[in-house]
Amino acid sequence: MYNEYDNENFFEQYAQMPRSKNGLASAGEWHQLKPLFPPLRGRKMLDLGCGYGWHCMYAAEQGASDILGIDLSKKMITEAKRRNTDKRIKYRVCGIEEYEYPENTWDCVVSNLALHYIENIERVFQNVHKTLIPGGTFLFNIEHPVFTSGVNQDWIYGEDGCPKYWPVDNYFIPGERETHFLGCDVKKQHHTLTQILMGLINNGFILEAVEEARPSEEMMGIPGMKDELRRPMMLLVKSVSVSQKPRKYDI
Ligand SMILES: C[S@@+](CC[C@H](N)C(=O)[O-])C[C@H]1O[C@@H](n2cnc3c(N)ncnc32)[C@H](O)[C@@H]1O
C-alpha cells in the first residue's frame, strides 16, 4: 500500500520537524491531547499509526501494562524501536486497515494524526469498537475537515506573500485530496465533521470531548503560529465505547 512515510526524501523532511526532534513537548496539540488520556496504569493501549512511538512511550510512563504501536511504514517502526523502547511496548509494521482487531482486548485505542490517511474511516470505528472493552476509550486527533477539504492544503496568498485566507472547497465531497506537505506530494483523505462524529455515534461510541487544536500562549511567539488562530488544523475527539449500539441516525 502507498505510504509517503517510506519515501526517503519525505522521511528525511519529517525527521527535521520539531515534533520529530523533541517529541510530544514540541507537538502543538499535546497541551490539549494529554489531558484527554484516561488513566492508563495497568491498562492495555493500542496506538494506530504510531510513527516514532511517542504516545506508546507516554503510555508506558503512565504505567500501562501492554502497549502495541502499529504503523504501515517500516521506516517509522524502525525509528520507534530506536527511540521509544520499553519492555511493555511492542511495535508492528501493519496498516490500520489490516490489523486484526481482536474482540474485547484493549482498554484504550489512540490515534494521532493518522486517520486522515484512511479512506474508510467508518470501518475503523467499527473495528475499534470491536477491539475495545465496553467502556474503553477511543482517543484520536485527525486533521480537521476545514483543513482537509480544499485543494493543496495551503493558504491563498496575497500579493505581499502573506496568507490571505484558507480555502474551504468541495466540503461535502469526501475522499482523496492531493496535498503538498514537506516538499512532497502526499495523498490524504477528507472526511466531513458529520462523518467523523456521527460515524462514532452510529457505531457504538458516546462522545466525551471534542476540541479543535489551537496553539498555547507559550507557542504564540513561534513564527507563523498566529495564523493557526485563523482556521482549525486538527480535531481532537475522546469517545467511549458502549456495549449496546445506540440507534442509527441517517447521515
Ligand atoms: C503524522 S504521522 C503521526 C505519527 C504519530 N502518531 C505521532 O503523532 O507522532 C502519521 C503516521 O501515520 C502512518 N500511516 C499512514 N497511513 C497509515 C495506514 N494506512 N496504516 C498505518 N499507519 C499509517 C504513517 O506511516 C505515519 O507514521
* pLDDT over 90 percentage in the chain: 78
The pLDDT of residue 30 is: 95
Query: Which cell is 155 given?
Result: 493558504
Q: Which atom of ligand 1 has the smallest separation from the CA of 49? A: 22
In a domain, 7, yes or no: no
DSSP string of 113-167, one letter each residue: S-GGG-S-HHHHHHHHHHHEEEEEEEEEEEE-HHHHSSSBT-PEE-TTSSEEE--
In a domain, 245, yes or no: no
The pLDDT of residue 220 is: 87
In a domain, 124, yes or no: yes
Residues of the chain with pLDDT under 70: 244-248
In a domain, 216, yes or no: yes
In a domain, 238, yes or no: no
Q: Which atom of ligand 1 has the smallest separation from the CA of 95? A: 20
How far is CA 3 from each of CA 6, 10, 72, rounded to the nearest angstrom?
A: 6, 10, 7
**Separation of 133 CA from ligand 1 center, angstroms?**
24
The pLDDT of residue 60 is: 98
Total domain count, the chain: 1
The pLDDT of residue 6 is: 84
Range of the domain at 98: 30-142+191-227
**Separation of 116 CA from ligand 1 center, angstroms?**
9
The pLDDT of residue 125 is: 98
The pLDDT of residue 26 is: 87
Q: Which atom of ligand 1 has the smallest separation from the CA of 114? A: 12
CATH number of the domain residue 34 falls in: 3.40.50.150
d(CA 12, CA 15) in angstroms, rounded, equals 5
**Separation of 164 CA from ligand 1 center, angstroms?**
30
pTM of the predicted model as reported, rounded to 2 decimal places = 0.95
The pLDDT of residue 206 is: 97
**Separation of 50 CA from ligand 1 center, angstroms?**
6
d(CA 164, CA 162) in angstroms, rounded, equals 6
The pLDDT of residue 137 is: 98
In a domain, 69, yes or no: yes
Torsion of CA 61, 65, 71, 76, to 10 degrees: 40
d(CA 247, CA 111) in angstroms, rounded, equals 26
In a domain, 152, yes or no: no
The pLDDT of residue 224 is: 83
**Separation of 146 CA from ligand 1 center, angstroms?**
20
Question: Which of 17, 55, 117 should be mutated for ligand 1, with most atoms under 8 A from CB?
Answer: 117
The pLDDT of residue 247 is: 63
In a domain, 17, yes or no: no
